[in-house]
Amino acid sequence: MDYLKLKDIAEKLHISTSSVSKALNGRFDVSNKTRDEVLKIANELGYIPNKSAVSLRKQKTYIMGVIVEDNSNPFWSEVLRWIEKELRGKGYHILFVNTNRDYKNELDAIDIFLQRRLDGLLIVPTESDYEDLIELSNKGIKFVIMGRDIKNDKLNVSMVYTDDIYGGYIATKHLIEKGCKRIAFIGAQTYNSSSKLRFEGYKKALDESGLALDNSLIKFNNNLQGSFLLEIEESYNCVFSLVKDGVHFDGIFSYNDVMAFGVLKALNELRISIPDNVKVIGYDDILYSSIIFPKLTTVRTDKKLLGETAVSLLFDPDIKRVSLKGNLVIRETC
């Protein structure tokens, strides 16, 4: 609303334009009586829609913010579909931002959403730093962390995630049961909690089977800022790096299905037979995993349940942690 319109309302009520502005922007340093009078006159003069007035009066916008790393990744696009459906059923709309795994983009998104006074946030954090999340938590801002099991005492906030240790364990155990003895692990960033926990599951399965941990078989990828296509490229390069270094492997566990696609591409170009010479397993069970060739064995994450649970936690902040179990989907790459 421009200054002249603010002035019209101010003159009608015999108050300052700054008081009008505060009332219209939902500030708390004006009385309820003044706020109601300003909203009433603003509506009469047709300066703001009725729905906006109701939102201001109730201190609610009926909009939730959603921040993810990359919705071009089929995993997050599916989760988002269920989030939007759940929120729409509750009378809410969403504002959405991709961070492309860049912490600065995460900071900017949170700042913009706070300025808009949204009713809550769903966040897939980049995890390169937690200061923004800790600040939100200290301020009592309502938000839920999705897809990450973050161990930080300063974060008193709800989280929903898959049991990544279990997922990494059953993935690696399946490769071992299929006869693999030299299993490579291709992970995401070293600070990514999901990647770290899946690696813990990988190590647990190796240990139980009496297989030694070989650091030459382990590849983490910190250079993943950008779209999910970079994940394909980086995992593709990891396979070539293993071969170039003369590292023998007969199985590969990839952090997610997208990275597994890069693995399959590299193995095909190297004319390494799948699954005869190398067996491959991914994580997430995105749609394309069942239609590529060969069809990808993977650990399925329930995207629908993840999205629905994230929304439910926004409205029930007393529940702090929800862990979802993945299950093995056996296809052709093993």
Domain residue limits at 53: 3-58
pLDDT at 45: 75
In percent, how much of the chain has pLDDT > 90? 71
pLDDT at 140 over 80: yes
pTM: 0.82
Same domain, 122 and 177: no
235 assigned to some structural domain? yes
Q: Which of 33, 58, 83 is the last residue of a domain?
A: 58
Summarize pLDDT for 160-175 with one digit per residue, the tens: 999 999 999 999 999 9
Q: Are residues 199 and 87 in the same domain?
A: no
Peptide bond connecting 294 to the previous residue in cis, omega within 30 degrees of 0: yes
Given this model, what pLDDT does residue 213 score? 97
Residue 313 and residue 230 share a domain: no
pLDDT of residue 187 exceeding 80, the answer is yes
What's 195's domain CATH number? Answer: 3.40.50.2300
Same domain, 168 and 274: yes
- State residue 54's pLDDT score: 46
pLDDT classification of 328: cutoffs 50, 70, 90? very high
Examine the domain organization and report whether 291 and 190 are in the same domain: yes
Q: Identify whether 88 is part of a domain.
A: yes
Counting the structural domains of the chain, the total is 3
The CA-CA-CA angle for residues 93, 256, 167, to 5°, reads: 100
More confident residue, 138 or 285: 285
Same domain, 175 and 154: no
DSSP strands (E only) in the chain: 63-68, 93-98, 120-123, 143-146, 158-162, 183-186, 218-219, 251-254, 279-284, 297-300, 321-324, 327-329
Residues 271 and 309 placed together within one structural domain of the fold: no
Residue 296 domain flag: yes
Q: Is there a contact between 332 and 275 (Cβ–Cβ < 8 Å)?
A: yes
Identify whether residues 313 and 296 lie together within a single domain. no
**In the predicted model, what is the mean pLDDT of the chain?**
91
**Between 62 and 260, whose confidence is greater?**
260
pLDDT for position 315:
93
172 in the same domain as 266: yes
Long-range pairs of 218-223 with CB within 8 A, sequence gap ≥ 24: 218/184, 218/185, 218/187, 219/184, 219/185, 219/186, 219/187, 220/187, 220/188, 220/189, 220/190, 220/195, 221/186, 221/187, 221/188, 221/189, 222/189, 222/190, 222/191
- Per-residue confidence at 28, pLDDT binned at 50, 70, 90? low
Please provide residue 30's backbone torsions phi and psi, each rounded to the nearest 5 degrees: -130, 155
CATH code assigned at 9: 1.10.260.40
Task: Please state the separation of Cα 10 from the chain's center in Å.
Answer: 45
pLDDT reported for residue 59 = 65
pLDDT digits (tens, 9 = 90+) for 204-237: 999 999 999 999 999 999 888 878 889 999 999 9
Instruction: Note whether 75 and 145 are same-domain residues.
Output: yes
